Amino acid sequence: MPAFKASVCLFCGARAGHDAGLAETARATGAMLARENWRLVYGAGDIGLMGAVAQAMRAAGGQAMGVIPQHLMQREVARRDLSALVVTETMHERKKVMFTNSDAIIVLPGGAGTLDEFFEVLTWAQIGLHRKPIVLLDADGYWQPLLALIDHVIARGFADASLRGLFSVASDLDDLATILHAKLAQTA
Ligand code: AMP
């Protein structure tokens, strides 16, 4: 019997971006995960928004599993104080281990790596490989251009309209917690 209620995979930036408000949102996300007793499953790093989530999560006494390829241990400053640290050989293996150990996926603002991770789990859902909830946190409207791109892809006939139903969009942190509660209850 695990000491946490569910495992939530986090994809987000290894950079903090230019907006201090997003770092604050990342810290609040870490605190929320600890409060809800949801285990954080993430890239193990201590930098950028992902580091901010992990720092707040650990400060609040939450549990975290970090998954990182050997070659990024230094570059992404792997934390050694996590409940579990898995060191993989490749990036692909990292994503697989993160995914298989999670009940849901949340996506905070990030860059190309975050987009890669989001599209991988989205396309896996599109071909029916899983039904794990995927939730974008649209903090400060960060993901609006991505949502417009996805709508454009659907409008031009390169994806079915159902693609838009394979993930949720949370407007703020309270909304994210509410959506996760509802989705995790459905999949339990
Ligand atoms: P970014 O959004 O570019 O700051 O990257 C966020 C995280 O995604 C970082 O920890 C990167 O190491 C990770 N990442 C980038 N590309 C990949 C990939 N192809 N597979 C797994 N992780 C990746």
Which pLDDT tens digit goes with each residue over 5-26? 999 999 999 999 999 999 999 9
Q: Is the pLDDT of residue 4 over 80?
A: yes
Summarised one tens digit per residue, pLDDT across range 74-111 is: 999 999 999 999 999 999 999 999 999 999 999 999 99
Nearest partner of 46 among 85, 76, 26, judged by Cα: 76
Q: Which of 18, 93, 116 is the pocket-test mutation for ligand 1 (most atoms within 8 Å of CB)?
A: 116
What lies within 8 Å, CB to CB, of 134 at 6+ separation is 104, 105, 106, 107, 118, 121, 122, 125, 166, 167, 168
99 within a domain of the structure (yes/no): yes
Q: What is the pLDDT of residues 131-184, one digit of tens each?
A: 999 999 999 999 999 999 999 999 999 999 999 999 999 999 999 999 999 999
Whether 74 and 87 have beta carbons less than 8 Å apart is answered as no
The structural domain count of the chain equals 1
What is the dihedral sign for C-alpha 53, 33, 119, 85? positive
pLDDT for the residue 92: 95
Tell me the residue range of the domain where 31 lies. Answer: 6-187
pLDDT of 1 > 50? The answer is: no
3-state secondary structure of 74: coil
Whether 1 is covered by a domain: the verdict is no
Cα separation values, 1 from 4, 36, 62, 82, 132, Å = 9, 17, 16, 19, 21
Read off the CATH number of the domain in which 148 is found: 3.40.50.450
CA of 1 to the centre of ligand 1 (A): 31
The reply to whether ligand 1 has any atom less than 6 angstroms from the CB of 111 is: yes
Residue 109 CB–ligand 1 contact under 6 Å: no
Positive or negative, the CA dihedral 65, 135, 172, 159 is positive
Going by C-alpha positions, the residue among 162, 130, 145, 144 that lies closest to residue 9 is: 130
pLDDT in tens, 26-85: 999 999 999 999 999 999 999 999 999 999 999 999 999 999 999 999 999 999 999 999
Q: Is the CB of 44 under 6 A from ligand 1?
A: no
The token pair at 118 is: 């989001």
What's the pLDDT score for residue 3?
A: 86
Helix (H, G, I), strand (E, B) or coil at 101: coil
**Is residue 81 a part of any domain in this protein?**
yes
The pLDDT score that the predictor gives to residue 11 is: 98
Phi, psi angles (nearest 5°) of residue 63: -100, 145
Residue 145 domain-assigned (yes or no): yes
Beta bridge partners of 88: 69
pLDDT band at 2 (very low <50, low <70, confident <90, very high): low
Residue nearest to atom 23 of ligand 1 (CA): 113
Q: Is the CB of 97 under 6 A from ligand 1?
A: no
Nearest CA to ligand 1 atom 13: 113
Q: Give domain status of residue 103, yes or no.
A: yes
Please give the distance of CA 29 from its chain centroid, rounded to a whole number: 10
What is the per-residue pLDDT for 187? Answer: 80
134, part of any domain: yes
